[in-house]
Amino acid sequence: MKSILVATDGSDGADRAVDYAARLAKTEGCDLLIANVIGGGLPENVFRQFTHAEQAWLREQLEAVSKHILTAARERAQAAGAATVLLESRSGDVAQSIVEIAQEKDVATIVVGKRGVGRVAGLLLGSISQKIVSLAPKPVTVVP
């Protein structure tokens, strides 16, 4: 197995997915790529109503949150035994971005949580995990 991609939004469900993926990466002796997608909950037409300064501030805040989520997930994965942990932050449509990352990085499998923390605050939802399953050209494991 080359590498495993796990998507996280920092929710309890995503933490369970990170734990599972880290154990799998340890067992298979492969890299673990942890991804977080920002901005998936804010419609573009709403975002464009903000001033340029407000948009820049909001992007900075979202990037800071993403960095925090990814850092916590990396620590969790390393504690679970994953040797090599890589991080990826993107913005855009959550499901499509996860699928694009999987294709670009040529991962062997994708791991996602069943449900995230909410449409605006969260980045993975039950509907998102279902969309990833339907779009992904790779095997997908949905962790309850």
Domain 3-143 class in CATH:
alpha beta
Task: Report the distance separating Cα 60 and Cα 45, nearest Å.
Answer: 19
Task: Report the distance separating Cα 114 and Cα 24, nearest Å.
Answer: 18
Give the pLDDT of residue 75. Answer: 98
Q: Which amino acid is at 140?
A: V
pLDDT (tens digit per residue) in 41-92? 566 777 778 888 988 898 899 999 999 999 999 999 999 999 999 999 998 8
Task: Report the distance separating Cα 79 and Cα 21, nearest Å.
Answer: 12
34 and 113 Cβ atoms separated by less than 8 Å:
no
Q: Which amino acid is at 92?
A: G
pLDDT (tens digit per residue) in 82-103? 999 999 999 888 999 999 999 9
| Boundaries of every domain in the chain | 3-143
